[in-house]
Structure 1
Amino acid sequence: MIPPRVPAAVRRRPAAAVLAVTVTCLLAVAAVAAALLGATAMGHGTGELRIPGAGTATVLRTVLFGALAVHAGALAADALLPSVPDRPRTAPRSWATAASVAGALAAAGQIVRLARISDLGLVETYGTREGGLLLLTANGFVLAACCAASRRPALAALPLAVVIGAEALRAHPEAYSPLVGAVLTVVHLTAASLWTGGLLHVLRTMRVWRAEPGAGRVLLGRYARLAAWLYVALAVTGTCSALRRLPADVVLTSAYGRTLLAKLVLVAVVSALALAARRRLARDADPAGAHRSARGEAAALGAVVLVSAVLTVVPDPHWIGTR
């Protein structure tokens, strides 16, 4: 008996799935390696002080920023849904609770790291400025996770705002205008989280709505208009922060300057991909092309998150220009 012939499309599906899993694993390994070695590589030859446990701090901060983006972005994307006419009732499974739990664990991990490098107990660590702010961050994420699991998930916006405020204060212990730096970071981190996490949630929703491409196209268009304003906020606050914190004469000779240049290159890539997605969205009735470009934009934004984490770990370059 001759066995039935399996269609070529069916035969290709397992191979495509294996390839996707393989590529994802390789990218994950590359991301972890970049996080562990990024701060050290950027500081090579600069003469700056070595940051204890820089690789561990970068990994933890990448998880924290990613968790914030996933949860805050989901809230922003869900707020756009009522403006989509005749939208399907289906929705992607929420990642908000898991993301905030991961953020809380990342903040707790930073507290343990701080206690270890400072040779302090946990109670004493909580009494330090950085330890207290990290504890506030962890508690904010816990509250956000509880809100996400409740019947009113939108309430998570308040504890997430606390997380952003605590992170902004933690990132600016310097003596020169720390309040200005904290305000800039609040706006910058909020806009970055909404842009990155919002796009991820919109793409997941479009995948669930693939039987109704018209609704997905409208949702992506609504997000694109929001993202344009977020982009402006990021550009303005990022420029102000760079001019404030980075002396012009150490752009290439400090870890901060080198990391910032790498981030700018990635942002340029993200900008090109975002522009391509918007053009395809305006030109084509079928959102498939815009969806592909937006997926590339989301992947590049993930790399920006990682480099941003490195940027928060490398030494403040201001002392180089003033020593």
Structure 2
Amino acid sequence: MTVSRPSVAAAPAEEADGSRGADAPSAAERRSALRRGGAVLVLLLLAALVPLLGPDLALYETGEADAPGIGLVTLLRTVMFGALCVLAGHAADGWLTRRVPGAPAPRPANWSLAAAGLGAVAAVWLALIVANGNIPPDSLAELRPGRLWQTTDGRLALLEVNAFIAAGYCAQSRRPGSAFLPLAVMAAAEALRAHPAIGPEEDPLVGSALTLVHLTSAALWAGGLLWVLRTLRLWRPWPAQSAALLGLYARVAAVLFAAITASGICSTLRKLPLDSLFTSAYGRVLVAKLLLVLVIAGLAVAARARLRRGAWAAIAPARAEVVVLGLAVAVSALLTAVPAPIWWDTPLWG
């Protein structure tokens, strides 16, 4: 009598003929992933270099004065704007998923608390700079938080700090969509700060309104795309719902892009003399931002075209889009830190 050993089933990753399973990535896919990862790292490095090298490059041979701590201010505003984008994307979760028929239950991890914390820290640091006369304090003895109540900029800075704290609390509550209210307050405070009542503008409220539209639309665009991409990773077993979610975001993003473009053009006509486009720091940074927006628009069009073949066909350009959006956030932060251009005659509009 012979005893036969039971056959052992092959591992899921290997087929009977030794080939890899259908779900295992091929060598070409791994190489493609490595290339994409390398491109992402390069773009993130460029974004990190914006606060360090951007001010010097923008101010080179312009004759404009270098504001104290411009690199630090750019870094802090990059963190603050990035946190605003993440919070806005998370707050849009319910609005988007409710409109996807048969939306699956999985949701990405909640980054809102960390984003709110980083945003609040950056806002506090910026507030301390404002309290010290817009000069970064060199020691604890130079901290004057009590002065914040004495100026409009100081009160707006405090409002931004509290808005981030409130947004983090709302995002963790049962109604995360309620975070839109403190985020709107934060965006409004930033818009008012960018256009002070005492300044060269004849009607600063118009400029503040344009900045509010621009900042809100940009935060929803960048933050919404980040949240959608993170959600699609969890929705891979549901291709129909994934395509519906990405298609819905694409339609919303088209409206946001139109708002960003219109408000940006109007703000430029109000703030920048065209003959200073390449001779002022503000103009140079604005040109860099415009080039990034053109790249982002091209990637968005490519993603929309690939969406006809399914959600996963559009993932690659969408991922590249969100990374370039991150770089654009850093350049936008630099734009708020460089000296404002000077009009020697009447502005083109406003």
Mark yes or no: TM-score above 0.5. Answer: yes
Which of 301, 308, 331 pairs up with 1:307? 331
1:30 aligns with 2:56: no
1:219-261 CA-to-partner distances (Å, cap 9, x unmatched) read 0000111111111101110000000000111111100000000
Any conservation in 1 of the 2:300–2:318 contact (CA below 8 Å)? Answer: yes
Q: Name the CA shift for 1:249/1:104 in 2 (closer, same or farther; >3 Å).
A: same
Query: Whole-Å Cα distance in 1 between the matches of residues 25 and 194 of structure 2?
Result: 51
Any conservation in 1 of the 2:44–2:327 contact (CA below 8 Å)? Answer: no
Q: CA deviation at 1:120?
A: 6.1
Q: Name the CA shift for 1:187/1:101 in 2 (closer, same or farther; >3 Å).
A: same
Query: Whole-Å Cα distance in 2 between the matches of residues 203 and 84 of structure 1?
Result: 15
In the other structure, the counterpart of 2:285 is: 259
In the other structure, the counterpart of 2:238 is: 212
Point out the more displaced range, 255-264 or 15-24: 15-24
In the other structure, the counterpart of 1:270 is: 296
1:189 aligns with 2:189: no
Query: Which amino acid letter does the alignment assign opposite residue 33 of structure 1?
Result: L
Q: Name the CA shift for 1:7/1:109 in 2 (closer, same or farther; >3 Å).
A: farther
- Greater helix percent: which structure? 1
Query: Whole-Å Cα distance in 1 between the matches of residues 32 and 62 of structure 2?
Result: 44
Q: CA deviation at 1:114?
A: 2.9
1:48-105 CA-to-partner distances (Å, cap 9, x unmatched) read 1111100000010001111111111222243111111122111111111211111111
Q: Name the CA shift for 1:99/1:7 in 2 (closer, same or farther; >3 Å).
A: farther
1:48 aligns with 2:48: no
Q: Name the CA shift for 1:226/1:166 in 2 (closer, same or farther; >3 Å).
A: same
Any conservation in 1 of the 2:191–2:212 contact (CA below 8 Å)? Answer: yes
In the other structure, the counterpart of 1:249 is: 275
Q: TM-score normalized by structure 1?
A: 0.90
Which of 308, 318, 337 pairs up with 1:294? 318
In the other structure, the counterpart of 1:225 is: 251
In the other structure, the counterpart of 2:118 is: 102
Any conservation in 2 of the 1:64–1:107 contact (CA below 8 Å)? Answer: yes
Query: Whole-Å Cα distance in 1 between the matches of residues 315 and 42 of structure 2?
Result: 23
In the other structure, the counterpart of 2:186 is: 163
Query: Which amino acid letter does the alignment assign opposite residue 179 of structure 1?
Result: L
Q: CA deviation at 1:17?
A: 8.7
Q: Name the CA shift for 1:96/1:120 in 2 (closer, same or farther; >3 Å).
A: closer
Computed over aligned residues only, the root mean square deviation of the Cα atoms, in angstroms, reads 2.5
Any conservation in 1 of the 2:40–2:320 contact (CA below 8 Å)? Answer: no
Q: Name the CA shift for 1:82/1:184 in 2 (closer, same or farther; >3 Å).
A: same
Q: TM-score normalized by structure 2?
A: 0.83
Query: Whole-Å Cα distance in 2 between the matches of residues 145 and 278 of structure 1?
Result: 32
1:122 aligns with 2:145: yes
Any conservation in 2 of the 1:206–1:213 contact (CA below 8 Å)? Answer: no
Q: Name the CA shift for 1:228/1:27 in 2 (closer, same or farther; >3 Å).
A: closer
1:14-36 CA-to-partner distances (Å, cap 9, x unmatched) read 99998887766655443222222
Q: Name the CA shift for 1:296/1:28 in 2 (closer, same or farther; >3 Å).
A: closer
Query: Whole-Å Cα distance in 2 between the matches of residues 276 and 24 of structure 1?
Result: 18
Residues 51-70 of structure 1: pairs in structure 2 closer than 5 A? 51-70=67-86
Q: Name the CA shift for 1:320/1:69 in 2 (closer, same or farther; >3 Å).
A: farther
1:140 aligns with 2:156: no
Q: What secondary structure sits across from 1:167 in the alignment?
A: helix
Query: Whole-Å Cα distance in 2 between the matches of residues 77 and 149 of structure 1?
Result: 13
Unpaired runs of at least 5, structure 2: 1-10, 137-141
Q: What secondary structure sits across from 2:337 in the alignment?
A: coil
Any conservation in 2 of the 1:57–1:110 contact (CA below 8 Å)? Answer: yes
Query: Whole-Å Cα distance in 1 between the matches of residues 62 and 307 of structure 2?
Result: 45
Query: Whole-Å Cα distance in 1 between the matches of residues 195 and 131 of structure 2?
Result: 20
